[in-house]
Amino acid sequence: MIEPLVSVIMPVYNGEAFLREAVESICCQRYARVEIIVVADGSTDGSASLAESLGPPVRLVRQPHRGLPAAHNRGVAAAGGELMAFLDCDDLWTEDKLAIQLAILREHPGIDIILGHTRRMWMAAGGDGTLVRRLSDPTLALSLGAALIRRAVFDTVGRFDEATTHSHDWDWLMRARELGVSVVVHPDVTMLYRRHGGNMTNQFAEGTSAFATMLRKSIARRRAQGKMASLPELPTLEDYRRS
């Protein structure tokens, strides 16, 4: 049996400092059928040239700077895989992410999106003054980088909203849940979210405003369809297996 191709979409905007390590975290997965689509979103540093130099399974797609949702959409359009995954160029996957999530999707064909946990990662001074990597406790977030998604879900939900400057991943996942797409959570950590000065989440006011707008839109859509104003909690894998 031929294993499914996993397409990994990696948008890059001036991410040269982190790009190689992010790609390596994908290439070290215990799964061979992977393509990595790096979408160079109008970068002015050397990130596009670096991506191009890495060779297969990396494929470079260039576009003028249009923002993260547009870069994700461009990557989805270019992808050929039956399964879709995402990773920002400054984040990392854990080494067993694909092995764990592929096994779950094989076992449960009714699951459309499987979502793991995330740990925040940052560099801090160690006792001897050198920089060491610190990790937070695992947390659950609606993060594309922690998920593995069946390609058919994009036919149901559509593309990312390019008018949304922040929280476009939450917006897409909320739309998926509203449409009855099966999203299930498992307890394993699958992504390390790097904290640094350039994170979009540092734009606190803009992010909070965008998140509130996203929630209002979601509630309005549900009320227009005569549905509950709130969505049920995401089921865990154990809940799903018991149902």
> What phi, psi does 204 have (nearest 5°)?
-60, -50
CATH number, domain at 140?
Answer: 3.90.550.10
Contact 63, 9 (CB under 8 A): no
Which residue bears the tokens 């739309």? 175
Residue 1 lies in a domain: no
pLDDT tens per residue across span 108-163: 999 999 999 999 998 776 666 666 678 899 999 889 999 999 999 999 999 999 98
* Pairwise pLDDT comparison (166 vs 62), residue with the higher score: 62
Mean residue pLDDT across the chain: 90
Would you list the DSSP string of 164-182? -SS-HHHHHHHHHHHTT--
pTM of the model: 0.88
Q: Could you tell me the residue range of the domain that residue 235 belongs to?
A: 6-242
pLDDT score of 204? 58
Residue 124: per-residue pLDDT = 76
What pLDDT score was predicted for residue 78?
Answer: 98
Question: pLDDT, tens digit, for every residue of 19-67?
Answer: 999 999 999 998 989 999 999 999 999 999 999 999 999 999 999 999 9
Total structural domains within the chain: 1
Distance CA 116, CA 146 (A): 5
Position 158 scores a pLDDT of 97
| Res 196 pLDDT > 70 | no
Is residue 236 assigned to a domain? yes
- pLDDT attached to residue 185: 98
